[in-house]
């Protein structure tokens, strides 16, 4: 056979990605099925002693419900849920129905996918482009994620935000606050240029989202309105400490609304502000010296390290040293609280980490979005993240903080 007539035989190359995805889906499907079966079995066993007049069980298994497909981060997963025949009635004579906590009725998408929508929105994806964006992330087998679906979800979340923003706080006690003004690359109304965010630490050490509101250039008036609203909804006990950036109008508002709350400036913001006044060649050394201040074992050592920084840079860079010196007292407030809490009190990291992927500290840019939509998306992002916030170290010490027990350099004053 001549060279010109030779035909190369090409064998199909299997897609490693597709094969792996298929294996993951099968594994997820099996695990989900096992979990649901176990849930149903436990429910039936818990009511095994309840029988009718003829001695028949009132709660039994009865085949399967019609299968359905759940859209997940690794694509669609088919599930079949066992049918439970529950013949019991409640006090009103209504039939009691079994509802799976693992697979709620009408669930079609996992929460992880729904969390993509507010994130994409704040990154500038328009509603009409959501289907294409989600298809790129989840694959072509991503049904039910049309622009209409997105619009409907946004409306549901808007109502959730409005309800949450009016909730009673009468039963709440926040020991610590973290506050910040967040800027996004969406166009807000001309007189509202940032989102004000407050997080709190409860008396048992859990972190909660307290408030999300729009504000005018992080002004005192905007923060005052927010704090007064919290108070009007029942939050009467002032937090012991509030942590935030020194540039916020929050501090003036705090003194007028919760005058007993102590102030702690964020060391991440302060470090950045101080370094801005220094040439790049000096910043590495300066940053290390600032680190020595807020990582010192005692307040006295921190003050010594602060003095050394000022003596080192004052002659040539007075703006940098003045930036540090003017807030010295409120930068070291954390030393009067339990040492276990210092890692939480020195920075606004709880807020920073939550919004790190979408936050912009630069001039706001034009883009799609409205005040209501942006507030809703920020609220949704924060409540999604809230589920993963870890509790404070040394949460048991919050009772001492609430009672006013004095701490010196992180230890109880009466401790040896």
Q: What is the pLDDT of residues 338-362, one digit of tens each?
A: 999 999 999 998 888 777 655 543 3
Helix axes 147-164, 371-386, angle to 10 degrees: 80
Q: For 93-147, what is each residue's pLDDT tens digit?
A: 788 888 776 666 655 555 555 566 666 665 555 555 666 555 555 555 455 455 6
Whether 173 contacts 237, CB under 8 Å: yes
In this structure, what is the dihedral angle of CA atoms 186, 191, 194, 199, given to the nearest 10 degrees? Answer: -130
What pLDDT band is residue 278 in, cutting at 50, 70 and 90?
very high
The pLDDT of residue 75 is 65
Judged by phi (left if over 0) then psi (alpha if -120 to 50, else beta), residue 247 lies in: alpha
Which residue, chain included where needed, has tokens 């005052």?
A: 224
Sheet holding 241-244, edge to edge: 207-215, 194-202, 174-182, 241-244, 262-265
The band of 218, judged by pLDDT with boundaries at 50, 70 and 90, is confident
Distance CA(411)–CA(339), nearest Å, equals 7
Cα-Cα-Cα-Cα torsion 19, 20, 21, 23, nearest 10 degrees, comes to 90
DSSP states of 112-181 as a string? HHHTHHHHHHHTT--GGGHHHHHHHHH-S--TT-SHHHHHHHHHHHHHHHHHHTT---TT--EEEEEEEE
**357-381 pLDDT tens trace:** 555 433 333 444 567 777 887 887 7
Rg of the chain's alpha carbons, rounded to an integer? 28
d(CA 37, CA 43): 10
Task: Kindly provide the b/e burial profile for residues 193-205, where b requires at least 16 CB atoms within 10 angstroms of the residue's own CB.
Answer: bbbbbbbbbbeeb
Beta strands in 23-81 (DSSP E): 59-64, 68-72, 75-79
CB 83 within 8 A of CB 103: no
Q: What is the pLDDT of residues 50-88, one digit of tens each?
A: 888 888 898 898 888 888 777 665 567 777 888 888 888
Structure tokens at 344: 């939480």
Dihedral of alpha carbons 28, 32, 38, 41, sign: negative
Contacts of residue 255, defined as CB under 8 A and 6 or more positions apart, other chains included, come to none
Q: pTM of this prediction?
A: 0.68
């Amino acid at each position: 056979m001549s060279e010109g007539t030779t035909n190369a035989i090409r064998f199909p190359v299997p897609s490693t990605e597709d094969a792996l995805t298929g294996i993951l889906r099968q594994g997820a499907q099996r695990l989900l099925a096992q979990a649901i079966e176990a849930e149903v079995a436990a429910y039936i066993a818990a009511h095994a002693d309840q029988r009718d007049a003829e001695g028949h069980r009132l709660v039994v298994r009865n085949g399967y419900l019609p299968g359905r497909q759940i859209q997940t981060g690794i694509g669609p997963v088919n599930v079949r849920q066992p049918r439970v025949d529950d013949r019991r009635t409640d006090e009103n004579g209504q039939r009691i129905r079994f509802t799976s906590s693992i697979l709620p009725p009408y669930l079609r998408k996992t929460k992880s996918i729904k969390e993509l929508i507010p994130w994409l929105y704040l990154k500038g994806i328009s509603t009409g482009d959501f289907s294409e964006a989600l298809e790129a992330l989840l694959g072509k087998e991503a049904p039910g994620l049309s622009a209409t679906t997105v619009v409907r979800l946004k409306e549901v979340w808007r109502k959730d935000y409005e309800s949450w923003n009016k909730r009673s706080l009468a039963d709440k006690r926040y020991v610590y606050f973290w506050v910040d003004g967040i800027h996004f690359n969406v166009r807000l109304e001309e007189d509202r240029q940032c989102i004000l965010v407050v997080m709190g630490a409860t008396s048992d050490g859990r972190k909660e989202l307290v408030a999300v509101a729009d504000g005018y250039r992080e002004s005192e008036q905007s923060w005052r309105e927010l704090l007064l609203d919290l108070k009007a909804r029942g939050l009467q006990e002032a937090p012991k400490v509030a942590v935030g950036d020194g540039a916020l109008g929050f501090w003036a508002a705090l003194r007028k609304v919760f005058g007993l709350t102590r102030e702690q400036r964020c060391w991440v913001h302060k470090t950045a502000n101080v370094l801005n006044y220094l040439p790049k060649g000096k910043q590495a050394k300066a940053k290390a010296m600032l680190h020595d201040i807020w990582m010192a074992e005692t307040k006295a050592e921190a003050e010594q390290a602060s003095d050394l920084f000022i003596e080192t840079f004052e002659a040539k860079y007075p703006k940098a040293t003045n930036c540090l010196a003017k807030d010295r007292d409120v930068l070291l407030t954390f030393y009067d609280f339990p040492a276990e809490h210092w890692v939480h009190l020195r920075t606004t990291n709880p807020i920073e980490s939550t919004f790190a992927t979408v936050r912009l500290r630069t001039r706001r840019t034009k883009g799609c979005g409205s005040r209501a939509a942006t507030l809703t998306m920020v609220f949704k992002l924060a409540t999604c993240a809230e589920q993963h916030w870890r509790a404070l170290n040394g949460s048991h010490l919050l009772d001492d903080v609430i009672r006013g027990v004095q701490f010196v350099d992180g230890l109880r004053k009466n401790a040896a």
